[in-house]
Structure 1
């Protein structure tokens, strides 16, 4: 992951909130009809609703987080689910993330 990409991702209060919520999704989101909150991630619509933003705006926030390697996406049916990439986040915290 590139440092500039990570810093850009972390420069938004909304993206920081998303990362915090995804750290403990059961505490911040209601149960989902499809997919487990922890195993599969949180449905994009739930995140957008919590932020009071459109799905298109959320899509841009999630694209930035994905490019930084901080979250991963998974499709289930027609929905996209997001979860934190704990390995990348741990590398970032330890200061050992590598430039791509």
Structure 2
């Protein structure tokens, strides 16, 4: 994991808030019936909750994806995002090693 890239992605309160929201699917409206079995949250729901433009949300989600904090899956015209818990833990361990270990 590129720690500098990850820190850059987290250097924005809204991006951190999006990661927080994605911890619990109930932070968003229910999935449409045709998406009920899919993991993650539709980018449109993230945009609606964040009250930001589509282009801003796309940029934010791209940064979070490149940093490894989210996984994106395309289903038709929709992109669904979910947290990448394994990479989040890897980042936290790397930060702990860098900042706390002698």
- TM-score of Structure 1 vs Structure 2, range by shorter chain: 0.7 to 0.9
Runs of 4+ deviating beyond 4 Å: none
1:72-83 equivalence runs, <5 A = 72-83=71-82
Instruction: Name the structure 2 match of 1:23.
Output: 23
Kindly tell me: are residues 64 and 94 of structure 1, through their superposed partners in 2, closer, same or farther at Cα, counting changes over 3 Å?
same
What are the within-5 Å matches in structure 2 for residues 49-88 of structure 1? 49-88=48-87
Distance 1:4 1:94 in 2: 14
Q: 1:10 to 1:55 in 2, by over 3 A?
A: same
Q: C-alpha separation between the residues in 2 aligned to 1:4 and 1:36?
A: 36
Give the TM-score normalised by structure 2: 0.85
Distance 1:3 1:35 in 2: 34
Question: Which whole-Å CA distance do the structure 2 matches of 1:5 and 1:36 have between them?
Answer: 33
Q: Which residue of 1 aligns with 2:7?
A: 7
Structure 1 pair 2–36 and aligned structure 2 pair: CA distance change class (3 A): farther
Asked whether the 8 Å contact 1:74–1:82 carries over to 2, the reply is yes
Partner of 2:88: 89
User: What is the TM-score of this pair, normalised by structure 1?
Assistant: 0.87
Structure 1 unaligned segments of length 5 or more: list them: none
Unpaired runs of at least 5, structure 2? 96-102
Name the one with the larger helix percent. Answer: 2
